[in-house]
Structure 1
Amino acid sequence: MEHARPPSELSLEGNSVSRADAWKRWRKQFHLSLKASGVHKEEGSVQASLLINLIGTEGFDVYETFKFSNDTEKDDVTVLLKKFDEYFGVKPNVTLARYNFYMRNQEGGESIDQYVTALKLLSKTCEFKTLEEEFIRDRIVCGIKNTIVRDRLLRTDDLTMDKAIKICKVDEVSADSSRVLQESRGASAGPVRVDAVGARGGAGPRAARSPAACGPGWREAPAASFQFICVQYLSQVRRSVCYLGRLSCGLSAVLCVSKLWSFCKNVSST
């Protein structure tokens, strides 16, 4: 395929371990590029030339240090790859690899899929062999941030890696749904309105939209923040809304019925 994407140039920053990891990553990307482009079917000399061409300046400097028995080895991609492996010391440090694996906990904001992917990548150099999935399962149990889900995993019989991932995903979906529901409720929440109480069976007409429309029943409340209240309407719907403790008049002034009841009676009698 002509449009296969080649690997980026090899970057050799950091210590020897970092450089070895960078080479192993580049090596895998190079092989994938060969297959995607169809060059893996070409002669070894073509593949060797492509390797030197794509590896970049830093990688080419390493290539320049190699010693070959004859010119044929320079055109043998297998020989080149072996020499790069020897140069970077790609033999894994199993102890260090397992330390990194066992110390890897789920980070804040990291999903279970992202966490499991990170564990799988770390396990590649741990030489767990047939026990790889069991160790990943154990790391999920020990490393997830949600302690409630961890307790559930510990109580689950015959827990496998796939079952552990499924339980964690269900919890993530549930938490996301609860968060969205709370946000939607918070956005729609507002003061309780007298109109709504009247619609549920409260006595009396709906609260007027202005003092002039309500007539002589309107009086200015003693607290400046109350704006206006309709005393006649409050006295009629008191029993319907008093259990709420709060209501809103036509001007959206939030009032406490319990505190205003005595005031309502005094004004109504005048």
Structure 2
Amino acid sequence: MAEALTNTFRLPPQLNVTEGNVSENFKKWKRQVEIYLVASGAVKKDGAVQVAIILNCAGPNIVDIFDQIQWTEGGDEKKPDKLFEKLEAYCNPRKNEVLESHRFWMVPYQEPFDNFLTELRTRANSCNFQEKDRMMRDKIIFSVTGKLQELLLREDKINLDKAIKICRAYEQSNKHVKELRESTNSTHTVNKVTHHDKFKRKLTNLKVKDPKLDTLNHRVKLLTTHKLTTKNVISVATNMKEKRKNVQHGEKHAMRAKVETILKLNARKYTQSAQHKVAKKKMTAG
């Protein structure tokens, strides 16, 4: 039954001792292995079996390291806690508090806030701070910006717990405000489109066809820019019809005038030609 349970759980990743922050790699890896041992029921097995499972999770490189370990007492190589101690010592040959402190102060602020807080706690645990809570409080206040930083600085006696509560409340309220704004903008857009389409249909039904005087886009533009009512729209359309009639009348008048001008010119040419012929005949006769 235990073997069946072991096979149903995902194995932790191998321990990386060659890249990144090896100390942090070990801490995270150890935590995952401990969870796996409990979840799979392996903690109830013999120490030697647990050690074998831990080494299997750690990977071949750690097996080679295991073979080179010098054990203080006989039988320690079969104890999981002793194996973890040796691996931790290997991953932490020496602890540089100055470097760890530098890493703590260089942690960038990120959202969600709880992710940032978790990273700070992890870094602070490696710094050996005498007043860890005060350092974390100061780091939070230094890292945030804008309105949130102002809220934190207004507090006379602010401790770490209070700073955390303010940051969480501020983040939550920002999410609510954003949600309300998005909902309001969405509703406004829907209403605007519906209103636009409604008057667009009314304008289409007015049947003002002359593209020189009136187009659907022009009528819609009148609605959106001047907020015309239905009565206004009908009035505008009527005026446009009158303008169209006037233009058409003007075009007819211009065409008539043009024809009359052409006729006059032709008549003048004809008269001049006739007069020329008469004069020529007289000269010939004389």
TM over 0.5: yes
Q: Distance in 2 between matches of 1:248 and 1:185?
A: 22
- Match for residue 204 of structure 2? 209
Of 180-189 and 146-155, more deviation after overlay is shown by: 180-189
Following TM superposition, by how much is the alpha carbon of 1:56 offset from its aligned partner in structure 2, in angstroms? 0.7
CA deviation map 1:173-210 (0-9, x unaligned): 234224423541464234965967xxxxxxxxx94533
Please give the residue correspondences for 1:176-215 in structure 2 after superposition, counting only pairs within 5 Å: 176-181=178-183, 183-185=185-187, 187-188=189-190, 189-190=192-193, 193=196, 207=202, 209-212=204-207
Say if 2:12 is the partner of 1:7: yes
Q: Map Cα deviations across residues 132-165 of structure 1 (whole Å, 9 max, x no partner).
A: 3443333222212x41222122223443233223
CA RMSD of aligned residues (A): 4.1
Determine the structure 1 residue equivalent to 2:165: 163
Aligned AA for 1:173?
A: K
Question: Does the CA-based 8 Å contact 1:193-1:248 persist in structure 2?
Answer: no
The residue that corresponds to 1:118 in the other structure is 119
Amino acid at match of 1:143: S
Aligned to 1:215: none
SS at match of 2:18: coil
1:154 maps onto 2:149 in alignment: no
Deviation at 1:66, TM superposition (A): 1.8
Whichever structure has more helix as a proportion of its residues is: 2
Is the Cα–Cα contact under 8 Å of residues 10 and 55 in structure 1 kept in the other structure? yes
Output the amino acid matched with 1:73: D
CA distance in structure 2 between the partners assigned to 1:156 and 1:223 by the alignment: 67
* Partner SS, residue 64 of structure 1: helix
Name the CA shift for 1:192/1:27 in 2 (closer, same or farther; >3 Å). closer
Q: What amino acid does structure 2 have at the position aligned with 1:122?
A: R
Q: Is 2:135 aligned against 1:135? A: yes
Q: Is the CA contact (8 Å cut-off) linking 2:148 and 2:167 kept in structure 1? A: no
- TM-score normalized with structure 1 length: 0.66
**What's the CA shift for 1:57?**
1.1
Could you list the runs of 5+ residues in structure 1 that have no partner in the other structure?
197-205, 213-217, 235-240, 250-254
Letter in 2 for 1:10: L
**Given the superposition, is the C-alpha separation of residues 266 and 208 from structure 1 closer, same or farther in structure 2, using an over 3 Å criterion?**
closer
Aligned residue number for residue 84 of structure 2: 81
- Taking a change above 3 Å as real, the CA distance of residues 104 and 186 of structure 1, as seen in their structure-2 partners, is farther
Greater gyration radius:
2
Counterpart of 1:30, as a letter, is: V
> Partners of 1:227 and 1:25 in 2: how far apart?
64
Identify which of structures 1 and 2 has the higher relative contact order when contacts are C-alpha pairs closer than 8 Å and 6+ apart: 1
Q: 1:47 to 1:224 in 2, by over 3 A?
A: same
Unaligned runs of 5+ in 2: 247-286
Q: Which residue of 1 aligns with 2:254?
A: none
- How far is 1:101 from its partner? 1.8
Distance in structure 2 (CA, Å) of the matches to 1:71 and 1:184: 72
Cα 1:181–1:246, aligned 2, differ >3 Å: closer, same or farther?
A: same
Q: What does 1:1-150 align with in structure 2 at a 5 Å threshold?
A: 2=5, 3-14=8-19, 18-68=21-71, 72-89=75-92, 92-107=95-110, 110-128=111-129, 131-144=131-144, 146-150=145-149
* TM-score normalised over the length of structure 2: 0.63
Paired with 1:69 and 1:119, the residues of 2 have a C-alpha distance of 36
Change (3 A) 1:100 1:56: same
Query: Kindly, what percent of the aligned residue pairs are identical?
Result: 19
